[in-house]
């Protein structure tokens, strides 16, 4: 559950209201040679835009590195809220309005798709058993906190590549979502409220042997395995005051989370050796391990002055040596390396013609 549509709407609206205040620096303009890349993005080359319209996010590679699954609410595809799709990386062009293969049912809201081992099935979380309509979004109160909904009708399903659901992996009370799969193909990590808090759990690829991994009060989510499958990296909220702790619990009772204060953590897949990697303040999220397993990419607004301006950063696993990777003035997030470590797919508000659209981009990774 990343609630990308809600986040990007808030971010993009803030941009449209304050565009005239942007400084005209070389960081802002796209590279005239590589027209969807900024000049300072030295780790990225041969960048290509994959989608063209709506909010498209959380693109995750197939095991063979030839396709990505993703979620979209593109109205041109008849969508009112996020549904799950997959697309080949090569040989497709969606600029004319063509629609990729949809995997989810088209009912309810979905999130967090991931290819199963063998690349013939995709898992994702969906609310469709709780109703055919898109569930209501939290009311936006002027001046109030930005909130994510934690829908208790989310469960995790597996579909074939034609959109037929072949298995339901979770059926516990409460929210189950944010599922990703180990590179070894043996385990799934996901977030659940089955114990009354938002904690990480693992299960076998079949859905059996569910084990709780985190147990400290706060939101633990968006987890991914390290390249060797021995560690997890994830985002988490922790509380330094009783007031913050009380606020979190009150929101949770309403099925809500305020995601504006999160840091990046790692632990072993059994929950041991828990470490806080970032201490940046604001919202640090969407982490993913570098292929060598010693660095972590993540999205953060810690350098922004208006609460948005999310960019992708890279940090050593020991919490030192932070480096900025992307430079869009609104939103870059959800970085994910291809299985062979040669490419990066991510979501960005760049090159959207002044709209609020967020699209998928893929680039070669340059060390």
- Tens digits of per-residue pLDDT, 135-168? 999 887 777 788 999 999 999 999 999 999 999 9
CB 279 within 8 A of CB 317: no
pLDDT the model gives residue 18: 30
Instruction: Give pLDDT, residue 7.
Output: 54
Rounded to the nearest 10°, the torsion over CA 221, 358, 303, 234 is 10
Q: Is 229 left (phi over 0), alpha (psi -120 to 50) or beta?
A: left
Q: What is the pLDDT of residue 29?
A: 66
Q: pLDDT tens-digit profile of 200-249?
A: 999 999 999 999 999 999 999 999 999 999 999 999 999 999 999 999 99
- What pLDDT is recorded for position 98? 92
Residue 225, burial from CB neighbour count under 10 angstroms (0-12, 13-18, 19+):
buried
pLDDT score for 34: 77
Q: What is the mean pLDDT of residues 328-355?
A: 97
According to the model, what pLDDT value does residue 24 have?
Answer: 30
Residue 27, pLDDT above cutoff 50: no
Percent of the chain exceeding pLDDT 90 equals 85
Give percent of the chain with pLDDT exceeding 70: 92
Minimal CA–CA distance to 356: which of 2, 9, 6?
Answer: 9
CA distance 183 to 36: 30
Those residues with Cβ within 8 angstroms of residue 329's Cβ, 6 or more apart along the chain or in another chain: 15, 22, 28, 309
pLDDT of residue 317 exceeding 60, the answer is yes
Which whole number is the average pLDDT over 298-325? 94
Mean pLDDT of 289-314: 93
**Mean of all residue pLDDT scores within the chain:** 91
Q: pLDDT per residue over 41-50, tens digit each?
A: 999 999 999 9
pLDDT tens, position by position, 31-69: 777 789 999 999 999 999 999 999 999 999 999 999 999
| Between 25 and 353, the higher pLDDT residue | 353
Q: Tell me what pLDDT residue 351 has.
A: 96
Q: Is the pLDDT of residue 133 over 60?
A: yes
Q: Is the pLDDT at 9 greater than 80, yes or no?
A: no
Range in 15-24, 53-62, 97-106, 132-141 the model is least confident about: 15-24
Residues contacting 78, CB < 8 A, separation 6+: none
CA distances from 59 to 152, 174, 362 (A): 24, 25, 10
Domain-by-domain residue ranges, the chain? Answer: 4-365
* pLDDT tier at 5, thresholds 50, 70, 90: low
What torsion do the CA atoms of 25, 27, 31, 32 make, to the nearest 10 degrees?
A: -10
pLDDT, position 4: 54
Looking at residue 145, its pLDDT comes to 82
Q: If pLDDT is split at 50, 70 and 90, which confidence band does 97 have?
A: confident
CATH class given for the domain over 4-365: mainly beta
């Amino acid at each position: 559950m990343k609630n990308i549509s809600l986040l990007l709407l808030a971010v993009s609206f803030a941009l449209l209201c304050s565009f005239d205040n942007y400084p005209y620096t070389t960081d802002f303009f796209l590279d005239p040679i590589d027209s969807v890349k900024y000049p300072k993005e030295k780790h990225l080359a041969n960048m290509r835009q994959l989608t063209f319209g709506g909010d498209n996010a959380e693109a995750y590679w197939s095991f063979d590195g030839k396709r990505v699954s993703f979620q979209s609410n593109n109205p041109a595809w008849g969508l009112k809220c996020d549904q799950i799709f997959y697309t080949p990386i090569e040989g497709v062009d969606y600029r004319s309005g063509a629609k990729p293969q949809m995997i989810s049912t088209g009912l309810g809201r979905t999130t967090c798709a991931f290819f199963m081992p063998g690349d013939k099935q995709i898992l994702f979380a969906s609310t469709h058993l709780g109703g055919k309509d898109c569930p209501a979004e939290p009311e936006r109160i002027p001046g109030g906190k930005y909130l994510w909904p934690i829908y208790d009708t989310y469960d995790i399903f597996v579909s074939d590549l034609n959109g037929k659901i072949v298995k339901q992996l979770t059926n516990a009370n409460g929210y189950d979502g944010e599922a990703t799969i180990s590179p070894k193909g043996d385990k799934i990590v996901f977030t659940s409220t089955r114990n009354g808090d938002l904690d990480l759990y693992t299960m076998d690829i079949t859905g059996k042997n569910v084990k709780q991994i985190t147990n400290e009060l706060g939101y633990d989510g968006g987890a991914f395995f390290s390249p060797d499958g021995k560690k997890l990296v994830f985002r988490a909220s922790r509380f330094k005051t009783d007031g913050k702790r009380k606020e979190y619990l009150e929101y949770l009772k309403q099925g809500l989370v305020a995601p504006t204060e999160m840091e990046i953590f790692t632990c072993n897949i059994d929950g041991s050796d828990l470490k806080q990697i970032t201490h940046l303040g604001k919202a640090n999220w969407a982490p993913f391990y570098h292929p060598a397993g010693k660095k972590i990419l993540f999205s953060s607004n810690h350098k922004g002055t208006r609460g948005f301006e999310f960019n992708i950063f890279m940090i050593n696993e020991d919490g030192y040596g932070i480096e900025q990777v992307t430079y869009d003035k609104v939103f870059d997030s959800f970085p994910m390396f291809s299985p062979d470590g040669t490419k990066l797919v991510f979501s960005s508000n760049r090159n959207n013609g002044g709209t609020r659209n967020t699209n998928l981009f893929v680039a070669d990774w340059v060390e």
